[in-house]
Amino acid sequence: MKRYVFLFSLFLTTSVLGQNGVWGSDSLKCWESFNNFGMLYNAKNYAESYDHWLKVYTDCPRAKEIVFIYGPQVVRSKIEKTTDEVAKKKLVELLMQVYDKRNEYFPGKEAYVLGSKAYEYLQFYPEDPKGAHEMFKLAMAKGSTELTPSHLNGYFLSGIRLLKDKTIDVASLFTVYNQVNEALEHHTDRLNESVASLRILRDSGTLTAAQEKSLAKEEKLLEGFDKVAGNIEKSLAPVLNCERLALIYNEASFTANKSDIVWLKRAVKMLEKERKDEAGNTVDCTDNPSYLKVSEALYALQPSAQAARSMGRLSYKREKYTDAMKYYSDAVAQEVDPTKKSNDYLRLAATQMKLQSFAVAKQNCLKSMSLNKNNADPYFLLASIYAEGAGTCGSNAFEKNAVYWAAIEWASKAKLVDPSASMKADRLISVFRKGIPDKSISFQFNYKEGDRYTIGCWINETVTVRFYQ
């Protein structure tokens, strides 16, 4: 929460305070209480500031908005130190009232305030998830992009609880998920773009002190939104299966919504979403008969990056690689989020590998790496492209198979980018080692362990000769 500094003048008189009606009939007393509350709050003595805060809140609530901004922290601290259950219940009721009064006296952030109230309600009234859910729903309607990661997480969790209580059905939970996911994407798209720009300045040594603070703040925010997205995916996984989706996204629902862009976008996302099956394999629901129609309808109505991406995915699955390349190129051209654009370059490179267009596939892998430096997948794909292209460079057995050393080096780099990908990297490296030039053949061409060799043509990389014996 943004910290406010309380600045008070010792020279203010009762007559001056009295000129401002917001300080109430006893303006001097109100000002003194405000001053005492402020000093205690700044010292982080939140519970001790309660009595002074309550005086201001009760007698002159319109004086300053910070009375309501800081109020929840004060009341929560008082609740934590209160053992009497009756008194605690009244304090919780007061906490709820603080949010209502803030919107009444200081409007302008209704969605955020209501989202905060809903989040508190969910904590203090866990037996009533429906009440919290309705508040969250209203906050979303007032301004979903104003809600914080905690608000969005609370909205979805209240939906999960209602599903378990059989108060709502799976279709309703999916609606909640899509609403939350769209709000998360709004924030992460914006933050990813900004963070990427600031990191470029940092890497070039031109980042100002103010920009450095902005970068740290935005990285922390992005981490918060990403964490919520991960938590939501885990909560949704048990109910997100293709059988349930087929009940919602089918011929009848498509016919009824084929001109509704919002519905089409949500359908595409839900059907494309990857999840683990019982065997631990990554699967999706794009085999749903409606997926083709939904994707085509969305692209026809709004040929956005998302729609192009869906068409590319569909074309790739149907082995129409030329079409897939066209759609993925379209997605790359339109996407502004660096992370999503990185993934689009990766899909484009995979498609070009299928078409044996190894040189351009390599370039798109490198572009993918540059946009998302923490993703090991482009490194794995480039290693696979090199292995797939073995034999296209060189005129003898040594030169043609030297490419496997380059493949091994890129797979090894993937482990540095993402240590959690080490097992996958080691498996690939084990396969690539089988393809490297034989030691005796290497000796015939005057290469021994530790020598450096430059692979020509589209690969154009220098590798170290190793025999791994």
Q: What is the pLDDT along the chain (469 residues), one digit of tens a residue?
A: 444 444 433 333 333 444 456 776 678 889 999 999 999 999 999 999 999 999 999 999 998 999 999 999 999 999 999 999 999 999 999 999 999 999 999 999 999 999 999 999 999 999 999 999 999 999 999 999 999 999 999 999 999 999 999 999 988 998 999 999 899 989 988 998 899 899 889 988 999 999 999 999 999 999 988 888 888 888 887 787 888 889 889 999 999 999 999 999 999 988 988 776 666 677 889 999 999 999 999 999 999 999 999 999 999 999 999 999 999 999 999 998 999 999 999 999 999 999 999 999 999 999 999 999 889 999 999 999 999 999 899 889 999 999 999 999 999 999 999 999 999 999 999 999 999 998 899 999 999 999 999 999 999 999 999 988 6
User: What's residue 21's pLDDT?
Assistant: 63
Instruction: Check: CB of residue 305 under 8 Å from CB of residue 331.
Output: yes
Closest CA to 396 of 449, 458, 446: 446
User: What's residue 17's pLDDT?
Assistant: 42
What are 275's strand-pairing partners? Answer: 283
Dihedral sign for Cα atoms in the order 415, 418, 421, 422: positive
Instruction: Check: CB of residue 63 under 8 Å from CB of residue 30.
Output: yes
- Phi/psi of residue 249, each to 5°? -110, 95
Instruction: Check: CB of residue 462 under 8 Å from CB of residue 452.
Output: yes
The DSSP string of 44-101 is T-TGGGHHHHHHHHHH-TTS-THHHHSHHHHHHHHHHT---HHHHHHHHHHHHHHHHH
Structure pTM?
0.70
Task: Tell me the per-residue pLDDT of 35-62, one tens digit each, with 9 for 90 and over.
Answer: 999 999 999 999 999 999 999 999 999 9
User: What's residue 277's pLDDT?
Assistant: 65
d(CA 56, CA 98): 12
Please identify which residue in the block is written with the tokens 């500094």: 5
Amino acid 146 reads E
Instruction: Check: CB of residue 394 under 8 Å from CB of residue 442.
Output: no
E-strand stretches of 93-251 = none
Domain map (residue ranges) of the chain? 1-107, 376-469
Closest CA to 142 of 178, 104, 115: 115
d(CA 151, CA 335): 27
The encoded tokens of residue 293 equal: 């129609």
Closest CA to 379 of 421, 339, 351: 421
Closest CA to 292 of 248, 260, 258: 258
The encoded tokens of residue 277 equal: 């099956």
Q: Ramachandran region of residue 460, left (φ > 0), alpha (ψ -120 to 50) or beta?
A: left
Q: Ramachandran region of residue 216, left (φ > 0), alpha (ψ -120 to 50) or beta?
A: alpha
